[in-house]
Amino acid sequence: MSSRKITVLKVKSPERTISSLARFSEEELDPYRKTLPSGTREEVDCDEDTILFLHPSFDPLEFQKTKEVLHLPDGEMIPVVAIDPNGEILMQAFGNEESQRLTLETGFAHYFSRSRNQLWKKGDTSGHTQKILQILSPKDRSFLVYQVEQKVAACHEGYYSCFFRERMPGGEWNPLPVPRNFLPEKS
């Protein structure tokens, strides 16, 4: 039985610049945490499938602008991190070649939903769109960063960023000062 994969970003604090992105199983998280420097903070997204590990010792990656579709092996997805103009990390999702093409053609962020197995334009139903300001990638082109103008909220729970809480030692949650711009409707 395969375990759930988690996306892990090392982020230099307080600047909040990305140092690395990796994906591994939930079972590998605790051993990985033990390799991190003392004082590393852990912010977790709303779906608990992306974690930001923040520490001042992490060296930021160099990014380059890109205006082309990154070609992927058939069926492969590329991680995409959305940030705002201030560098605030808003969310992490996945893209395929078609979502990248639509993003470049329309100027709005498109992703591929693995759970629904379909393309989606961020904000298509909510109106909380992400207008592309620039697209970046590290030199190894292992993931993309969409710098966006975020309308209202990136998070389906109403928060401006999906990273609105910090995991404390012992597993307690500490809310972060992330604006909650709307309350989602209960279904």
Q: What is the mean pLDDT of the chain?
A: 95
Query: In 34-147, where does DSSP find H-type helix?
Result: 97-106
Domains, in order of start, for the chain: 5-169 (3.10.20.810)
Residue 186 predicted with pLDDT over 80: no
C-beta separation of 147 from 83 below 8 A:
yes
Residues 45-62 have pLDDT tens digits of 999 999 999 999 999 999
Amino acid at 97: E
Residues 2-43 have pLDDT tens digits of 589 999 999 999 999 999 999 999 999 999 999 999 999 999
State how far the Cα of 9 lies from the Cα of 123, in Å rounded to an integer: 24
- If one compares 160 and 184, the residue with the highest pLDDT of the two is 160
Per-residue model confidence (pLDDT) at position 1: 44
C-beta separation of 112 from 103 below 8 A:
no
- CB-based contacts of 78: which residues, under 8 Å, 6+ apart? 70, 72, 94, 95, 96, 100, 142, 143, 144
